[in-house]
Structure 1
C-alpha cells in the first residue's frame, strides 16, 4: 500500500486475528501483528510485516529529512533577518 496511512483506505478496517483489536487500516493491523504477535506469524504475515515496516521506516526517514531542512531554512531565515536589521 503506497502513500501515507491516512489515504482513503478507511474501508480496509479490520481486526487482529490473534487478540481481536480493531484497526482503521490494514496497514496498522499488519504492523501490530508483526510487533505484538511475532512468535505466531505465518510466512505470509511475516513478509507483509517486513514490507510494511520497511515502507514506514522509509517514510519516517523522509519526514526527518524534511523537518531538518525546514529547521535549517528557518534558522538561516532568522539569521538573515537579524543581519538585515542590525
Structure 2
C-alpha cells in the first residue's frame, strides 16, 4: 500500500448476506455508514467530487471533530477520577 494514498488498496469484504450501508461512487468500496463514505470521498477522491459531496464531507468532518473532542473530554474526566480515587485510597492507607 502506498502511504501517500491511504485506503486505496485496503482489502474490504462484506459478510455474505449483508449489504453495506453506503458505497463509494468512485471506487465502489463498502462502508458501514454514510458518514464514513463521505469522509472517504472527501479525502481520497477530493479532486473529482461534486459540490454536494464536498459539503457532505465538510459536515462529516465537523461531526468527526465533535465526536473526537467529546471523546477527549471523557478521557480527561476519567483520568481525573482515577487519579482522585488513587490519591484518596493512598491517604486512607497511610492514615490507617
Whole-Å Cα distance in 2 between the matches of residues 53 and 70 of structure 1? 26
Whole-Å Cα distance in 2 between the matches of residues 24 and 61 of structure 1? 22
Q: What per-residue deviation string (whole Å, max 9, x for no partner) do you get for residues 10-43 of structure 1?
A: x871211111101121111111101111111111
Report what 2:10 is aligned to: none
Correspondence 1:33 to 2:44: no
Asked which structure has the greater CA Rg, the reply is 2
Q: Which runs of 4+ in 1 moved over 2 A?
A: none
Count how many residue pairs are aligned between Structure 1 and Structure 2.
76
Correspondence 1:63 to 2:71: yes
- Which residue of 81, 84, 87 corresponds with 1:76? 84
Q: CA RMSD in A?
A: 1.3
Q: CA deviation at 1:67?
A: 0.5
Unmatched tracts of structure 2, length 5 or more: 1-18
Whole-Å Cα distance in 2 between the matches of residues 12 and 58 of structure 1? 25
Q: For the Cα contact (< 8 Å) 2:20–2:30, is it kept in 1?
A: no
Whole-Å Cα distance in 2 between the matches of residues 69 and 61 of structure 1? 12
Unmatched tracts of structure 1, length 5 or more: 1-10
TM-score, scaled to structure 1: 0.83
Cα distance change on mapping 1:12 and 1:26 into 2, 3 Å: farther
